[in-house]
Amino acid sequence: MTLAEKAYVDLRHDIIRGVLAPGRPLRLADLSERYGMGFSPLREALNRLQAERLVTAESLRGFRVAPLSLDELHDTVSLRILIETRALRAAIAEGDDAWAAGIVSALYALKLQAGRSGPDADIWALEARHHAFHLSLLAACNSPWTLEFVERLYAATERYRIPVLLDAGLAAGRDVQAEHSALADATLDRDADRAAALLEAHYLHTVEALTAAMRPEATEAVRARAAK
The span from the CA of 138 to the CA of 157, in Å, is: 18
Does the domain made of 70-226 have the CATH classification 1.10.10.10? no
Q: Cα separation of 193 and 224, whole Å?
A: 41
Domain layout of the chain by residue ranges: 3-65, 70-226
pTM, 2 dp: 0.81
Spatial separation of the C-alpha atoms in residues 90 and 142, rounded to whole Å: 8
Query: CA 37 to CA 168: how far, in whole Å?
Result: 34
CATH assignment of 3-65, among 1.10.10.10, 2.60.40.1150, 2.60.40.1260, 1.10.3720.10? 1.10.10.10
d(CA 25, CA 179): 38
5: helix, strand or coil: helix
Amino acid making up residue 87: A
Q: Per-residue pLDDT tens for 67-108?
A: 988 899 999 999 999 999 999 999 999 999 999 999 999 999
CB atoms within 10 A of CB 173: 6
| Same fold for the pair 3-65 and 70-226 | no
* Of 114, 211, 113, 111, nearest in space to 164 by CA: 211
| Inter-residue long-range contacts of 110-118, CB under 8 Å, 24+ positions, other chains counted | 110/177, 110/180, 111/177, 111/180, 111/181, 114/176, 114/177
pLDDT tens-place string over residues 33-78:
999 999 999 999 999 999 888 999 987 778 999 998 889 999 999 9
Q: DSSP state, 68?
A: P
